Each structure stands twice: as C-alpha cells, then as structure tokens.
Amino acid sequence: MESDRPKEIIKLKAAVVDAIRTTMQRSGATESFYDKITGGTGACENVPTAFMLHNAAELSYLSQTDQLQMEREVIECGLPAVWTLGRSFRNEPRVGDGRHLAEFALLEYEARGMDLTALIAFQQELLLVAMEVALESPIIPDDHKGRLKKFIETPAPVISYTEIVEKLASRGVSINWGDDFSSKDEEMICVLEDGPVQVTRYPESIKFFNMFRTNRDPRVNDAITSIAEANKHRWTVECVDFLLPWAGETFGASQREENHDWLYTKLQESIMFKQMVDIRQQYYTEQGGELAETTPEQVKADAWRPFISYLRLFVDNKDVTRSGFGLGMGRLIQFLLGSTSIIAF
C-alpha cells in the first residue's frame, strides 16, 4: 500500500474537493475565480510574508486572500454566497515546521446574512463532509478511521478564547490575555478538548481589521473607539478559528464589520496597514529616483488607495451582515491523514 500512497493522496484530495463543491452548490453558494496578482487588498492577510513583484508598473503582490474581492461580489452582485479554491502565496519563514507552506490551496467562502452562530455550524458541516470522505479512503489506517468516527459522532466543542486562555494558564502554560496562540498552544488545546475545537472571540488587536467588534456599547451610538482603548477593555471580535489535531488552525473565520466609519478607523489604526505603509516605503527607497523622494504622507496615501473602493461599498450599503472563512486545504488533508506534516495541496 505504501507504493500507492501518492496516488491515493491525489484521489483523497479530489474526493474532498468534490464533496465540498457539492455541499457549496447545495447551500446556494456560487463558485467564483480571482486574479492572483493584487495591488494590496489580496496581500493583507499576513503582510510581512507577502511576495512583492518588482517588475510590475505599480507595487504588486502575489495574492494571499480573495476575501475583500469576494465581499464585493456578495454586496454588489446580490449573490447570497460565493466560494473559491485558489492559491495563497506566503514568503513564510516557518516553511518546514510541519504546519506552513510557501504556496498552498486556500478555499474561501463569503456569505450574506450569516452571523457567527451560522458560520460555526457551516464549518462543522464541511469538516463532517471531509471526514466522511476520508473514511472511504484505503490510505487512512483503521485506527485513525476510529478517531475520525469519534469526531463525526461528537461535534467539535465551541469555546471562547478567554476560556481557553484560562484553561491553559491553569495547566502551567505561560500565556496572557491578548497573546496569539502558538502551534504548541493549539496542539494542547486540541488535547484538552479531546479533538477538534472551534475557538471564538479572539482579541481585536490580533485579528484582521474588518472583523465585527463583539463589544458594542449602545450608549455611545457606535462611536469610534481606538484599538488601544479596545485592548484596555479586553474587547473581542466575532471570529472563530477551527483548530484540528495534528494540523492546528485550519479554518480562520469571522463575521465581517458592517459600519463604514468603524471599518475606516479600524483599517487606519491596524498593525496590518502600518506594515503595508512600511513595506511600500522600503520599496520606494529601493527603487531610487523620484520614488525615493516620495513623502511619508504620500506613501501612506498610496498604501491606502487599494482599499478605497472596498470602503466605498459600505457608504450606501449599510448593515450588510456577512461572514466568511479561509480553509487551508493542506492542513485539512493533514488532519484527515493524521500526519505530523502538512500535505502539499
């Protein structure tokens, strides 16, 4: 059977994608496709790992995510949901650690009218579909099929970031509220919960700028509050990371922000945007000539420009409830195989 492993992995990948495509079609989601060269909005998921293209007329990147383009289609085209299976490119220093790749298949989904509760349920449904496919694969050992059957019979628990931090701290893990989880933390969380677990409501400071803020005070009429103030009050966002044994964070998901003013301020204050400004400044300096003379104010304006059309979506389209996720397919297959290393996909 070992000689058939490459062939069976290819067949498993294809079967999982087919099953997910069927589930998406049944749910009313439309498959869509996107460019892999972006001016900024597609390279903002993990900015320090973005691949820059130096031979383009404008500063361009290889895409890391299609999320903001998908949101546009859901809002402008009136589609209830869209999904895509594309490539994500990361100049990732952790390649080779069993969890990270420089290029991988990223399945993304965006739905209108979906809140965090519905998003959690849909992620569980997709994982169930994938595990059921794996049970039919001859490459999965019987003992691991036994584990998958247990996970199928018992849905993954849903637990908040704050509760998880308290659990880890009570077991001697050195972690503070506001810290992101390391891969070892994620492994321990899956051990503590005895399998896959959906962790919700992470601190706003460590998540993407357009995640919906959980802690809204109606007494201030949605007045803008800085991220520093949000951290002071331990404010969180309506997000969920689906952690899987062996693979760690495999789905990264959230309900999206609906208010234009909140989006504007959160983007402007985000660490992500500051990183994009710094990268652009470095790029201009390296190019020399007139670009090297660009003022800091103009550099910031240039970094902001790719996001203008996205922000305009919410000027006339108020209170558009929507949610979505990114699913790393290599990590999903890693989990299905019970492998200690991520599977190239």
pLDDT level of residue 262 (50, 70, 90 thresholds): confident
Q: What is the pLDDT of residue 15?
A: 98
| More reliable by pLDDT, 73 or 262 | 73
* pLDDT at residue 247 greater than cutoff 90: yes
Window from 93-107, 142-156, 324-338 with minimum mean pLDDT: 93-107
Q: How far apart are CA 325 and CA 340, in angstroms?
A: 24
* pLDDT at residue 224 greater than cutoff 70: no
Q: What is the pLDDT of residue 334?
A: 97
Q: What CA–CA distances, in Å, run from 236 to 159, 219, 289?
A: 14, 18, 44
Q: What is the pLDDT of residue 197?
A: 98
Q: What is the pLDDT of residue 1?
A: 56
Structure tokens at 122: 């849909």
pLDDT level of residue 225 (50, 70, 90 thresholds): low
| More reliable by pLDDT, 120 or 261 | 120
Q: What CA–CA distances, in Å, run from 193 to 151, 168, 203?
A: 11, 11, 21
Q: E strand or H helix at 325, and its extent?
A: strand 322-328
Q: What is the pLDDT of residue 259?
A: 87
Q: What is the pTM of this model?
A: 0.93
Per-domain residue ranges of the chain:
2-337
Q: What is the pLDDT of residue 269?
A: 86
pLDDT level of residue 149 (50, 70, 90 thresholds): very high
* pLDDT at residue 11 greater than cutoff 80: yes
Mean pLDDT for all residues in the chain: 92
User: Is the distance from CB of 268 to CB of 224 less than 8 angstroms?
Assistant: no
* pLDDT at residue 31 greater than cutoff 70: yes
Q: What is the pLDDT of residue 77?
A: 92
Q: What mean pLDDT do residues 316-326 have?
A: 87
Q: What CA–CA distances, in Å, run from 40 to 17, 136, 326?
A: 28, 41, 18
Q: What mean pLDDT do residues 175-195 have?
A: 95
Structure tokens at 169: 């701290």
Q: What CA–CA distances, in Å, run from 176 to 162, 168, 209?
A: 10, 10, 21
| pLDDT-above-70 percentage for the chain | 94
Tens-digit pLDDT profile for residues 284-313: 998 888 889 999 999 999 999 999 999 999
Which residues, other chains included, contact 329 with Cβ-Cβ below 8 Å and sequence gap of 6+? 13, 16, 17, 85, 104, 105, 106, 107, 345
Q: What is the pLDDT of residue 102?
A: 93
Q: What is the pLDDT of residue 98?
A: 82
Window from 125-129, 218-222, 232-236, 267-271 with minimum mean pLDDT: 218-222
* pLDDT at residue 57 greater than cutoff 70: no
Window from 200-209, 312-321, 331-340 with minimum mean pLDDT: 312-321
Q: What is the pLDDT of residue 135?
A: 98
Q: What is the pLDDT of residue 319?
A: 75
Q: What is the pLDDT of residue 261?
A: 87
Q: What is the pLDDT of residue 215?
A: 76
Q: What is the pLDDT of residue 217?
A: 62
Question: Which architecture, in CATH terms, is 2-337?
Answer: 2-Layer Sandwich (3.30)
